[in-house]
Amino acid sequence: MAAASIDPVPYAPREITVGRWRVTALQDGWLRLDGGAMWGVVPAPMWRPMTPPDDRNRILLALRPFLLRDGEHTVILELGVGDRWGQKELDRYGIERTDTLEESLAQVGVAPGEVTHLVASHAHWDHIGSAISERDGVLVPTFPGATLALPRVEADMVLDPDPIRRGSYRPEDLRTLEDAGLVRRFEDGEELLPGLFGHVLGGHSDGSSVIRLAGEDGPDGVFWGDVCPTTHHIQPPFIMAYDVNAGLSYEVRSRWLARSADEGLLGLFYHDADIAFGTIAWDGRRYTCTPIA
Closer residue to Zn ion, CB minimum distance, 124 or 233 = 124
State the nearest-atom distance from the C-beta of 75 to Zn ion, in Å.
20
Instruction: Give the binding range for Zn ion (CB under 5 A) out of 87-95, 119-127, 214-222, 254-262.
Output: 119-127
Q: Where in 7-46 is the site for Zn ion (CB under 5 A)?
A: none
Instruction: Give the binding range for Zn ion (CB under 5 A) out of 104-112, 220-228, 262-270, 276-284.
Output: 220-228
Alpha helices in the chain (DSSP H): 35-39, 44-47, 87-92, 101-107, 125-128, 152-159, 171-179, 246-263
Residue of 124, 170, 199, 232 interacting with Zn ion (CB under 5 A):
124
Q: Please report whether residue 206 would count as binding Zn ion according to CB under 5 A.
A: no
Closer residue to Zn ion, CB minimum distance, 124 or 199 = 124
Amino acid at 1: M
Q: 69-108 mask for Zn ion (x: CB under 5 A)?
A: ----------------------------------------
State the nearest-atom distance from the C-beta of 168 to Zn ion, in Å.
7
Check residue 160 and report its DSSP letter: S
Q: Please report whether residue 226 would count as binding Zn ion according to CB under 5 A.
A: yes
Compute the distance between CA of residue 76 and CA of residue 74 in angstroms, rounded to an integer. Answer: 7
Rg of the chain taking only CA atoms, in angstroms: 17
Q: 146-175 mask for Zn ion (x: CB under 5 A)?
A: ------------------------------
Compute the distance between CA of residue 80 and CA of residue 228 in angstroms, rounded to an integer. Answer: 16
CA distances from residue 132 to 88, 97, 152, 175, 193 in whole angstroms, order as listed: 20, 15, 19, 10, 22
Q: How many residues bind Zn ion (CB under 5 A)?
A: 2
Q: Dihedral through CA 157, CA 93, CA 268, CA 2, nearest 10?
A: -150
198 bridge partner residues: 190, 211
State the nearest-atom distance from the C-beta of 3 to Zn ion, in Å.
23
Closer residue to Zn ion, CB minimum distance, 48 or 165 = 165
CB 248 within 8 A of CB 103: no
Q: Which residues make up the interface to Zn ion (CB under 5 A)? A: 124, 226
